[in-house]
Structure 1
Amino acid sequence: MEDETTWLSPKAVLLSLMVGFVVAKGMSILWWRPRKIEEHFSRQGIRGPPYHFFIGNVRELSGMMLKASSHPMPFSHNILPRVLSFYHHWRKIYGSTFLVWFGPTVRLTVADPDLIREVFSKSFYEKNETHPLVKQLEGDGLLSLKGEKWARHRKIISPTFHMENLKLLVPVVAKSVTDMVEKWSDTLSESGEIEIDVYEWFQILTEDVITRAAFGSSYEDGRAIFRLQAQQMLLCAEAFQKVFVPGYRFFPTKRNISSWTIDKEIRKLLVKLVERRRTSSGGQTAAKDLLGLMLEASKSSENVTVNDIVEECKTFFFAGKQTTSNLLTWTTILLSMHPEWQAKARDEVLRVCGSRDVPTKDDVVKLKTLSMILNESLRLYPPIVATIRRARADVELGGYKIPSGTELLIPILAVHHDQAIWGNDANEFNPARFADGMARAAKHPLGFMPFGVGVRTCIGQNLAMLHAKLTLAILIQRFTFHLAPSYQHAPTVLMLLYPQHGAPVIFRRSDGQDYR
């Protein structure tokens, strides 16, 4: 017995030491370090809701967000209290610069445009690490890449989005929109009206355009991928609504297994598509769609692999679809709420396009009123309501000392609705503020940033704006529209800003013609 005890003792001591180390490390990460960070910022006059062991402010934050989204809001564009309820609430208590804890991770909210410009312009700050569940959904492409690999991919992909190249897509977009209008016309009532949930229809429309831009003649192959990504997005959203448990994404739960299966299927479809294009091209990949450019790069560089191409396609599919379809949805809702601007846009389209049923690429450039309307829509209802950057080292920001690793939360929606930047009518729909261009619309150049700022500005913004302008021009030519009685105003965040209860709109043929 004595020999057995002696033999076990070193193991017991080692185990005790290991447990003690883990406990000490855990206490440091989950308690002592957050308390030190709170004290560090408190000495600089920055406070926030108190940190709670392990969960931070997640419980209060989730409660406020769930309460805000539990019922629709009045027909108002003052959406900050509903969409970013935690920021709206704590800003009133602690000011616009305060700390908020996402578990043991601290985030410093920064809404001052001068500080935001510094964050985006200096190399001390980098894009934060994307959550693994989000990365699985949106792909490990331009949205999440950093450093040299990001720069290399951006250079490869950029020609896809050159304006002259995008103008070649005008007939493609026009065909997709007119096909959609034909389907609507087939079901018009005797009075020439139809009720449409534009949120659903614009997603279908954008899928068609994005797949053509990504794969050229192979666009049909992309539709199955969109369907799978939509399923994966719902699973991802469900996971974020659950209580935070470290490593939960690795558990073989029903939801996780479904997510893994979908991810494998998406990858399988994309690899198959890439290989088919590589084989059918016979070594010639001159096409300037996304897939063609990536394949061309892979021929001349070992740094671009099939996996890189797959991840970029996932990114383009997800970001392109969600951004553009949401822009179209909110702009249609705004024009339904404000018929005077709908009439102004229609007068412009009819004046510029004349008797042409479909605007040309030259017509689209001349639609100034529509550009103003789209910019105002992006200001009031930006697809991305907030973004995050991370301090790579100990830095000073506007006189504040920021420790390395601190995440900076930039509430884009709050900046877009800031009366100090936009005036007393900041929460009102007034496209005329963009009449002299974006540079003169706001009192600060960083007051408007729907597509980001600096080198990481969204590469697809020209495609999104071209697509949106052309789509709205064609619809405005053919229909007048207003909100359906069943519409409920409920802007909500699920990755991007979207209408929680859909967007039913009643379209009425404006001139009695059937454009088929």
Structure 2
Amino acid sequence: MKAPMLLLLLFLLLAFVVQSFSMLSLALPLACLLLHLFNTTWLKPQRVRWKLQKQGIRGPQPCFLYGNVPQMQRIQITATKAANHGEIVAHDYTSSLFPYFEQWRKEFGQVYTYSTGNKQHLYVNNPELVKEMNQSLTLDLGKPGYVTKRLAPMLGNGILRSNGIVWAQQRKIIAPEFFVDKVKGMVGLMVESAEPLLRKWEGCIGGGVVAEIRVDEDLRSVSADVISRACFGSSYFKGKHIFSKLRNLQKLMSKQPLLFGVPTFGFFPTGHQKEIRGLEREIESLIWEAVKERKRESSKEKDLMQMILEGAINDHFVVSKDASKRFIVDNCKNIYFAGHESTAVAASWCLMLLALHPEWQARVREEVAQVCREGLIDAESLTKMKTVTMVIQEALRLYPPAAFVSREALEETQIGHFTIPKGVCTWTLIPNLHRDSNNWGCDANEFRPQRFAHGVSSACKVPHAYIPFGLGPRLCLGRNFALAQLKVVLGLIVSKFTFSLSPKYIHSPAYRMIVEPEHGVHILVQRSELG
């Protein structure tokens, strides 16, 4: 309490000095400003902490102005120095990527509170509470404003960032395009998009026996092509430039701390921020050109871009030409990014795990040969790929691309027996939830796809705690799309090639808005006898 008391004493002293010089016209506004700062930086956050503490929720002691940020930074630095990245593949990476959450979980349990600046957070990794959040339909739990503000250059105010009625309206427009029946019609496009990758890898092997390939960029190309062709029609040629710019923007934004940035009071943009803003304008310009091209085309087939265009026209919340353009561009940015990056990263992790476990490669290869007529993958054969599905589910358990489910209580909200004050952000660390030995068993850190042999409901004690695509009403819209694409890509690759990890592979998961292999996935590839 020393810092707040000092601030208060300074305020009183300053007020006294000002009054003594008869500058009464300045004293009142200055006093109001100081009181506002004192309330914002200490009193209000302290009241929220008291409300949580009265409910038995504990947490680390914050410092004035910065909360627990300095402590988080110290813990992260220590963990980074101690990290042992290399050839040994240890699937539990939470202690190196998010060490403060792990340290506090061990000290305070599955539910605790901490703060960043004047923002109060609630860490929730209790499976039963996560289950209740999963089933909640309230709009009072939205995306945290301070996080989405940092992501605005990438996502604008599209469906991944917006809240309330605006989000509900966007979901109403976009969701139908990713229903199961629609996705079935995209399987042919997915196969066509994957074929250049197969030809490229064949060419890499050439007349030799084995080729070393870094798979992640090739998988990004496939995923980008799929989302462009399936959702944006003939405008997919421009997609290559958009995806490249989005990837560069993602790397730039990942250089600044997303989870615990130190509060600053700068009024002028830094060089880093200017670079981000420049890329943002380039991406928006490319998307708008693609939109205008789509408008000029006449097509009986309605793709996702056409639905977004019509939504911008018919949406009564979009009341001006500028608002309509922003609505279209922002949602296209969301789909371009979310529709290809997460799926490509998930496919990379799948191939890494299969490279470590050739016995599962063999099982997948045998299944694809059995269920695919003449080796052709179609919508019907995807439903029969039980082994492929198990492998994907287990890969998404160990390496979910999205590390968190984060929500902000837009109004006071009840979760279980806890009352969450307005403004508090809740965080669920997905990889930690997916490795809870109480829920998954003593082999929770091992790759065992057979745990999903009878579906998610039988894989663990609390199935609602398996959330690779998020939870609740904001469950990822592209879930069916991503799973179908993963089945197609894995099915085709494993049927054509056998592979193992290259000695160049360094196991180092990194958090860059999503959890991805920091140095890529290098594998040694050779032709399959069945291929």
What TM-score, normalized to structure 2?
0.89
- Return the offset for 1:297: 3.1
Distance change in 2, residues 1:52/1:311 (3 Å): same
Deviates more, 1:99-108 or 1:28-37: 28-37
Distance change in 2, residues 1:443/1:204 (3 Å): same
C-alpha separation in 1, matches of 2:296 and 2:21: 62
The answer for the alignment partner of 2:113 in structure 1 is 99
- Return the offset for 1:370: 0.3
Amino acid at match of 2:234: S
Identify which of 483, 493, 499 aligns with 2:501.
483
Identify which of 452, 463, 476 aligns with 1:434.
452
CA contact (8 A) 2:137 2:472 kept: no
The answer for the alignment partner of 1:191 in structure 2 is 208
Amino acid at match of 1:197: R
Distance change in 2, residues 1:240/1:84 (3 Å): closer
1:238-286 Cα deviation digits (max 9, x unpaired):
23279624355x62322111111111111122222212221232xxx54
Identify which of 42, 52, 66 aligns with 2:63.
52
The answer for the alignment partner of 1:142 in structure 2 is 159
Give 1:157-306 correspondences, 5 Å limit. 157-188=174-205, 190-240=207-257, 244-246=262-264, 248=266, 251-281=268-298, 286-301=300-315, 303-304=317-318, 305-306=324-325
Deviates more, 1:477-486 or 1:126-135: 126-135
Distance change in 2, residues 1:243/1:122 (3 Å): closer
C-alpha separation in 1, matches of 2:64 and 2:269: 27
The answer for the alignment partner of 1:361 in structure 2 is 379
Distance change in 2, residues 1:25/1:430 (3 Å): same
Amino acid at match of 2:123: T
- Return the offset for 1:407: 1.3
Give the SS at the match of 2:226. Answer: helix
Q: Is the aligned partner of 1:327 residue 2:346? A: yes
Q: Is the aligned partner of 1:348 residue 2:376? A: no
CA contact (8 A) 1:491 1:499 kept: yes
Identify which of 118, 125, 128 aligns with 2:141.
125
Distance change in 2, residues 1:211/1:43 (3 Å): same
Identify which of 61, 65, 70 aligns with 2:72.
61
Give the SS at the match of 1:75. Answer: coil
- Return the offset for 1:335: 0.7
1:130-150 Cα deviation digits (max 9, x unpaired):
432312212321111222222
1:457-515 Cα deviation digits (max 9, x unpaired):
111011111111000101001111111111111112111011122211111112286xx
C-alpha separation in 2, matches of 1:257 and 1:246: 17
Give the SS at the match of 1:48. Answer: coil
- Return the offset for 1:394: 3.4
C-alpha separation in 1, matches of 2:133 and 2:446: 29
CA contact (8 A) 1:69 1:492 kept: no
Give the SS at the match of 1:239. Answer: coil
C-alpha separation in 2, matches of 1:174 and 1:390: 40
Q: Is the aligned partner of 1:22 residue 2:33? A: yes
Distance change in 2, residues 1:512/1:376 (3 Å): closer
Amino acid at match of 2:176: P
- Return the offset for 1:219: 0.5
Give the SS at the match of 1:106. Answer: strand
1:315-369 Cα deviation digits (max 9, x unpaired):
001111221011101111111111111111111111212532x312211221110
The answer for the alignment partner of 1:34 in structure 2 is 45
The answer for the alignment partner of 1:419 in structure 2 is 437
The answer for the alignment partner of 2:16 in structure 1 is none
Distance change in 2, residues 1:122/1:177 (3 Å): closer
C-alpha separation in 1, matches of 2:507 and 2:80: 11
Give the SS at the match of 2:89. Answer: coil
What TM-score, normalized to structure 1?
0.91
- Return the offset for 1:10: 10
The answer for the alignment partner of 2:417 in structure 1 is 399
Amino acid at match of 1:44: Q
CA contact (8 A) 1:137 1:233 kept: yes
Give the SS at the match of 2:255. Answer: helix
Count of aligned positions = 501
Distance change in 2, residues 1:69/1:210 (3 Å): farther
C-alpha separation in 2, matches of 1:224 and 1:179: 18
Q: Is the aligned partner of 1:151 residue 2:168? A: yes
Amino acid at match of 1:407: C
Give the SS at the match of 1:450. Answer: coil
Deviates more, 1:291-300 or 1:409-418: 291-300
Q: Is the aligned partner of 1:317 residue 2:333? A: no
Distance change in 2, residues 1:311/1:67 (3 Å): same
CA contact (8 A) 2:131 2:465 kept: no
- Return the offset for 1:303: 4.1
The answer for the alignment partner of 2:3 in structure 1 is none
Give 1:374-385 correspondences, 5 Å limit. 374-385=392-403
What are the ranges of 5 or more consecutive residues in structure 2 without an aligned counterpart?
A: 1-18, 319-323
C-alpha separation in 2, matches of 1:489 and 1:224: 29
C-alpha separation in 2, matches of 1:287 and 1:140: 27
What are the ranges of 5 or more consecutive residues in structure 1 without an aligned counterpart?
A: 1-7
Deviates more, 1:387-396 or 1:102-111: 387-396
The answer for the alignment partner of 1:3 in structure 2 is none
Amino acid at match of 2:59: G
C-alpha separation in 1, matches of 2:107 and 2:197: 49
Give the SS at the match of 1:131. Answer: helix
1:208-255 Cα deviation digits (max 9, x unpaired):
11111221121001111111111211221123279624355x623221
4+ residue segments displaced more than 6 Å: 8-11
Amino acid at match of 1:50: Q
What is the aligned-residue RMSD (CA, Å)? Answer: 2.3
The answer for the alignment partner of 1:447 in structure 2 is 465
Give the SS at the match of 1:417. Answer: coil
Give the SS at the match of 1:505. Answer: strand
Q: Is the aligned partner of 1:496 residue 2:514? A: yes
